[in-house]
Amino acid sequence: MQTERSRTLVDPSTSPSGGFPIRYLLVFWIMVLSAIAFLDRTNISVAGMQIGHDFGIDNTHLGWVFSAFLVGYAAFQIPAGVLARRFGPRRVLALGLVWWGIFTALTALTPPHPRGALLGLILIRVALGAGEAVMYPCANQFVERWFPIHERGKANGIIFGGVGLGSATAPPLLTAIILHHGWHASFWFCAALGVLAGCVWYWAARNAPENHPWVGAAELDAIVRGRGDLRAAVGGTEAAAGMRPAMPVPWRKIFLNRGILAVTGSYFTYGYVSWIFFSWFYIYLTEVRGLSLRSSAVLSMFPFIAMSLGSLLGGVASDWLARHVSQRAGRCFLPAFALFLTALLLAVGSRVDQALSASLVLACGAGALYLSQSSFWSVTADFAGTFAGVVSGAMNMGCQIGGALTATLTPLIAAHFGWQASFSTATALAILGAAAWLLVDPAARLETADAYEFPSS
C-alpha cells in the first residue's frame, strides 16, 4: 500500500517556509555549526601564547597540542562516517556538538601545573578532535540525501563557508574575551555556544527530506529526481522514501579506487596548507612579522574571510561548470587550478617584506585554496551515494593527517631553515595536490557502473 508520505511526491502542497527550500535553511544552519566547529578548534591558537606562558610550554610543544586535536580528528573520520550512515546526521551531529562542548570546557579546567598540563591538554585535544570528527561526514551524508547532484557544489560551498566564518570570527572575538576576561572565558563561551547550536539542529533537522514535515511536494520531488537514485526511486516506494536496503560497506572498492586515492592524496596536501593558517598564522604575524596582538587579530582575519568567499564562489562555480561545460571541468579542473594558484600565492606572499602586503597575498592564497573545497566533497558524495559519509570520512582523514603534520612540522622547519622554507614546503605540496586531480573521474560511481549525467537545464 502506498504510504501517505510517498503520495506527497505528487500532491500540490507547499512548504510552510513560504516557498524557500527547507534544504537551504538546514544547510545554512550546518554552515553555522561548521563555523562553531572552527571557532572551537582555532581558539587554542588565539589563546596559544597565554596558555604557553601560563603552563611553560614553548612553540614546539604547543605544536604537539595543536597536532593532538588533528590526531583524534583524523583517527575518527571513518568511524564518524559509519555512524553517520548508521544513525543519520541528525542524531550523530547533535551528540557530537554536545561532546565537543564538554571537552572545550575541560580545556579551561586544565590545572596549571607544568608537569601535567601538557599531557592533559594533549589528551583533551585528542578527545575534542574525536568528537568534531563527525562534523563533515555527517554534513556530506546530509547533502547526499537532501540535494540534487547539480546543487551539491553550492551546498558544500555554503557549508564550508562556515570554516572561514568561524576562523575569521575567532581572532577578534576571542582576543576581546581574552583581554577582558582571560583565556579560560573564551573556552567557556565556545562550549556553551556549541551545545546551544546542537540543540537547535536536533530540533530542526531530519535525516532525509521524506521525513521532514516542513518539506513541500515540489521540493521533495526535485530532490528525489535529482539526487542520482532516480531509477531506484521509480522502482519502489522504499527507495522513493529515501531508504536503502542494508548493505555492507564495500571497503575494498573504496580503498582501491584510483579516484578516491587521488582525491584523498590531494586533500592531504590541502590539509597541510590550510592548517598553516589555522594553527600558526596568528602566531606568525606576532612573532615573525612583529605585530601587536590587536594588529595580528585584525590581519589574521583576512585569510579566513577569503576562505569563506572562496568556498562560496568555488561551490557555485563547480556546479555551473559541471552543468554547462563538463563534469570534469567543474569537479576536477577547477580544484586543480585552485591548488596551483594557491601554490603561486604562497610562494609570493611568504617573500613579501611588508607585513600588510604579505598578509593580503597569503590571504588570497587561502581564498584560492578554498575555491577547491566543495569539489572534494561533491565528488565523494556523487561517487559514494549512500556511503557518502564513509567515503568522505576516509578522504577527510587524509586531510587531517596533513594538518597534523603541518601543526608539528611548521615550527620545526621554521626553526631550522626559516619561515620561508615552511611556506615553500606548503607550496610544493599544493602543486602535487593539483596534479592529483588529473587522475579523478568525476562520473565514476561506487554502487553502479552507470554514470549520472547533469540535467541540461
pLDDT tens for each residue of 298-324: 777 788 889 889 999 999 999 999 989
| 213 assigned to some structural domain | no
* pLDDT, tens only, 389-435: 889 888 988 988 898 788 778 888 888 888 888 889 999 999 999 99
| 248 assigned to some structural domain | no
Q: Which amino acid is at 57?
A: I
- Structural domain including 266 reads 17-207+253-439
| 226 assigned to some structural domain | no
The predicted pLDDT at position 435 comes to: 97
| 219 assigned to some structural domain | no
| 126 assigned to some structural domain | yes
| 89 assigned to some structural domain | yes
d(CA 307, CA 160): 8
Q: 395 versus 235: which is more confidently predicted?
A: 395
The CATH number linked to 431 is 1.20.1250.20
Average pLDDT over residues 135-149: 92
Q: 450 versus 446: which is more confidently predicted?
A: 446
Residue 451 — pLDDT band, cuts 50, 70, 90? very low
Q: Tally the domains of the chain.
A: 1
| 444 assigned to some structural domain | no
Residue 16 — pLDDT band, cuts 50, 70, 90? very low
Average pLDDT over residues 21-43: 91
| 430 assigned to some structural domain | yes
